Chain A
Amino acid sequence: MSVITVENISKQYIIDHKKGKGVNTLRDVISENFRSIFGNKKDQTTITHEEFWALRDVNFSIEQGDRVGIIGHNGAGKSTMLKILSKIIQPTTGTVRIRGRVASLLEVGTGFHPELTGRENIFLNGSLLGMSRTEIKKQFDEIVAFAGVEKFLDTPVKRYSSGMYVRLGFAISAHLDPEIMIVDEVLAVGDAEFQKKSLGKMRDNSASGRTIIFVSHNLTAVQALCNKTLYFEKGRLIEQGETNQVVASYLSKVSKTRLVRQWDTPKEAPGNDLVRIRRIELIPDYVDDLTHIDVRTSMKFRFEFWNMMERANLNLSLHLNSLTGECIFNIGTQSQPYGKGLIAGECTIPGYFLNDGSYTISMMIVKDTVTPVFVMEEGITFDVEDYREGIAWYGKWPGYVRPQFPFHIKMLEPVVSEQ
């Protein structure tokens, strides 16, 4: 039995391009209308409307008890789809039919108020997610135990550590009892152990016939949890079916080596009014005249960006992620004052460090060590090929990294055979 059918769903946004600030003020609208009344066409060129389809003609249906993963790049329309299913936004065209009680978790701890205590926030968040007070009371002790915040129940959550905050938020949602559960990346937070616990809890729930829709960048999590997968690209649903099959075809499509990206004028470069990226490049120091990167190759990551701020304390943070979405490492520079201008730098990733696989590099420019100014997601994509010497075993080398730490082995004493 289909619990969710989605027919011809499209969502269109109209983006106003205009000079100046982005927020609509009453004055803009009034003056705009005045202009059109008096037929003054001169100024109309300053405002252009651009149509943007966040989703285009999406069709699928979900059976009861299915655990469905939704994958795709940033901006592929995954979150828009979830928000339509959650009744938060209305589609521009099409119909969705949903049978059963839905709970959407688009955020951990939705509505948590920092001034309220853990106890008060459990009731607040629970009822926002659709639980009745009696339900919350019944599950209260279990929620608190799952989150492990017994001692801090009457402390305002603003004093919680970020880990506690996330655990409490997830614990509440894990105790919901809807027929259909919609989850957006909430598992991407929290420590590894808690993630495992949460995934386990979700899987247990689906054994009891619950339908789960799960959006994630983390393909490993999708593979662990979901039996079916939808693959979105640029607002269209381009593939659906068994998880392993869809994930494999996603990987084959996205694993394209892209070592250099350059923008010549600040206008077209990615960024914002504060910083713009000019060039990012990965320069491999190929071994033995090879033309591909393997586990021995050391690489230089070079970047250039325009800083448009007069005087800003900036530092960089690089994320090297596996293609499946796990962060392999994150390194940052010291914060330093920079004036307006083009800034360049580089960072070396040594050879004999990464395991074979596909990786992406994201670069974040941070102001005053806390405020991200701009994040360049998945700027560089590259593959690291396998290379082994003197080993007759060709199975997949386990682990995220493959460093060569020094071993020292010697024989302590020979066994003297008695003859």
Chain B
Amino acid sequence: MKTHEVVIQPGRSERHYWRDLWRNRELLYILSMRDVTVRYKQTALGTAWGLIRPLTTMLIMVFVFSKIAKLPPDPGIPYPLMVLGGITVWTFFSTAFTQISNSVTLNSNLVTKVYFPRLIMPLSSIAISLVDFLVSLGLFILLAIWYQFIPDWHLLLLPAFILLALLASFAFGLFFAAVNVRFRDIAQLIPFIVQVGFYICPIAYSSRLVADKASEWWAPLYWANPMVGIIDGFRWSLLGEKAYFNPQSLLISVSIVLVCLALSLYFFRKRENTFVDDI
């Protein structure tokens, strides 16, 4: 049997880090299962909560923005369907982002007691949001059937947008997860970011309304938000050509997400060896 030698030195990160990560894939699976199981233990409604939350948010949005504020939907698309599409992908992104940001501090009991590639923690924390996402996607399908809405070939691109939303949550969450270890301010900041994001992203309204106001000074700022392209694209692939989608905004999204992902990964890897000293 081949025994490889492990060398522990200051500042030396594991040379076989990625291989180690792959070896620990079972741990990743088990920690993911733990999060999902624990979440719905001792809840009477169980996974139904994954339905109730987006459904009530949608109803409130419909009431406030469509009935009271009279925001117009994209032409030819029922307003509730447009809102639910936005809520589905936004909730997915924001829960994943929140879970990832808190993943290291929530697992501090493990950080101080066992070694494993620390990336396992943010990775495993995605599971919950994936489960919730699948449930609320089911809700969307039901609503689409109700409105007798038939999707077209755009649907084939849906997985790409889901992946992009996931990468975005990972890119931003990973950075906050590492900072959170030292500065617990982050835990306070995250709900705030999510709340602000909900209104500056095209969830209750369509980006078409912004495109009509291209001359306004804040319009470029709006398009610089990487989530705009992702949410519009997600809705476009679900609802087809009638939904507003500006491919340029997708380009912005992809580049920002990839750059942030690389930086976050670098930062996280750099910090993870000292997590235990700061936690």
Number of A residues with CB within 8 Å of any CB on chain B: 45
Query: With the chains together, A309 CA to B38 CA distance in Å?
Result: 37
Chain A residue with minimal CB distance to B179? A26
Interface string of B179-200 (1 = CB under 8 A from A): 0001111000000000000000
Give the distance to chain B from A308, nearest Cβ to Cβ, in Å.
Answer: 26
User: What total count of A-B pairs have CB within 8 Å?
Assistant: 107
Q: Are A87 and B115 in contact (CB under 8 A)?
A: yes
Shortest distance between the CB of A109 and any CB in chain B (Å): 10
Mask, B7-20, CB within 8 Å of A = 1, is 11111100000000
Contact residues in A for B276 (Cβ distance below 8 Å) = 83, 88-89
A121 to nearest B CB, angstroms?
9
Interface residue from B12, B42, B115 paired with A88 (Cβ < 8 Å): B115
Chain A min CB distance to B178 (Å): 14
Q: CB distance A127 to B26 under 8 Å?
A: yes
Q: Which residues of B contact A127 (CB under 8 A)?
A: 26-27, 30
Q: Name the residue of chain B whose CB is nearest to the CB of A10.
A: B10
A34 beta carbon closer than 8 Å to chain B:
no
Q: Is the Cβ of A25 less than 8 Å from the Cβ of B185?
A: yes
- Distance to closest chain B CB from A282 (angstroms): 36
- B46 shortest CB reach to chain A, Å: 14
Rounded to whole angstroms, the CA-CA distance of A102 and B5 in the bound complex is: 11
For A101, A111, A129, which residue has the most chain B Cβ atoms within 10 angstroms? A111
Per-residue interface assignment for chain A, residues 114 to 138, with 1 indicating a CB less than 8 Å from any chain B CB and 0 otherwise? 0110001001100111001100000
Determine which of A84, A111, A115, A124 lies in contact with B42 in the assembled complex, contact meaning CB atoms within 8 Å.
A115
Chain B interface size, as a band, is 35 or more
A351 is an interface residue with CB less than 8 A from chain B: no
CA distance A101 to B5 in the complex (A): 9
A95 touching B113 in the complex, CB below 8 Å, given contacts A89-B277, A90-B273: no
Chain A residues closer than 8 Å to B9, beta-carbon distance: 91, 94-96
CB distance from B259 to the nearest CB of A (A): 24
Contact A111 B109 (CB under 8 A): yes
Q: Which residues 183-228 of B have a CB within 8 angstroms of A?
A: 183-185
Known contacts A106-B114, A111-B110; is A91 also within 8 Å of B185 by CB? no
Q: Are B30 and A179 closer than 8 Å at their CB atoms?
A: no
Neighbouring B residues of A93 by C-beta, 8 Å: 10
Instruction: Indicate whether B67 reaches chain A with its CB closer than 8 angstroms.
Output: no
Whether, in the assembled complex, B3 has its beta carbon less than 8 Å from a beta carbon of chain A, the answer is yes
Partner of B183, one of A24, A106, A107: A24
B69 at the interface (CB under 8 A from A): no
B112 near A: Cβ within 8 Å?
yes
Residues of chain A with a CB closer than 8 A to B37's CB: 115-116, 120
| CB <8 Å contact, B6 and A98 | yes
Pair B183/A87 contact, Cβ less than 8 Å:
no
* Contacting residue for B7 out of A86, A92, A95, A128, CB 8 A: A95
Bound together, the chains give a CA A128 to CA B7 distance in angstroms of: 21
Complex CA distance for A310 and B184, rounded to whole angstroms: 29
Contacts of A25 in B (CB 8 A): 183-185
User: Which residues of B have CB within 8 Å of A101?
Assistant: 3
Task: Check B70 for interface membership: any CB of A closer than 8 A.
Answer: no
Asked whether A298 is an interface residue with its Cβ less than 8 Å from the other chain, the reply is: no
Interface centre among A13, A29, A88, A115 (most CB of B within 10 A): A88
**A115-B41, A128-B110 given; A99·B3 CB < 8 A:** yes
CA distance A87 to B276 in the complex (A): 11
Interface centre among B3, B9, B12, B112 (most CB of A within 10 A): B9
Please tell me if the beta carbons of A96 and B110 are within 8 angstroms of each other in the complex.
no
Option from A106, A115, A116 in Cβ contact (under 8 Å) with B113? A106
Q: Report yes or no: B115 in contact with A86, Cβ–Cβ below 8 A.
A: yes
B149: interface (CB < 8 Å): no
B10 touches A92 (CB 8 A): yes
Q: Which of B18-45 contact A (CB under 8 A)?
A: 26-27, 30-31, 33-34, 37-38, 41-42
Bound-state Cα–Cα, A226 to B26, Å: 34
- Please, how many angstroms separate the alpha-carbon atoms of A23 and B41 in the complex? 32
For the complex, give the distance between the alpha carbons of A99 and B183 in Å: 37
Closest beta carbon of chain A to B136's beta carbon, Å: 24
Contacts of A95 in B (CB 8 A): 7-9
Complex contacts, A111 vs chain B, CB 8 Å:
109-110, 113-114
Residue A113 is within 8 A (CB to CB) of chain B in the complex: yes
Contacts of B38 in A (CB 8 A): 113, 115-116
* Also in contact, A179 and B26, with CB within 8 A (given A104-B114, A116-B37): no
Q: Which B positions have Cβ atoms within 8 angstroms of A?
A: 3-12, 26-27, 30-31, 33-34, 37-38, 41-42, 109-116, 182-185, 273-274, 276-278
- What are 10 residue pairs bridging A and B, where the CB atoms are less than 8 Å apart in the complex? A23-B184, A24-B183, A84-B8, A90-B8, A93-B10, A100-B3, A106-B113, A110-B114, A115-B38, A127-B30
Given contacts A106-B114, A113-B38, A132-B26, could you give 16 more A-B pairs where the C-beta distance is less than 8 Å?
A: A86-B114, A88-B276, A89-B276, A90-B273, A91-B9, A95-B8, A96-B6, A96-B7, A98-B7, A98-B8, A104-B114, A115-B42, A124-B30, A128-B110, A129-B114, A133-B30
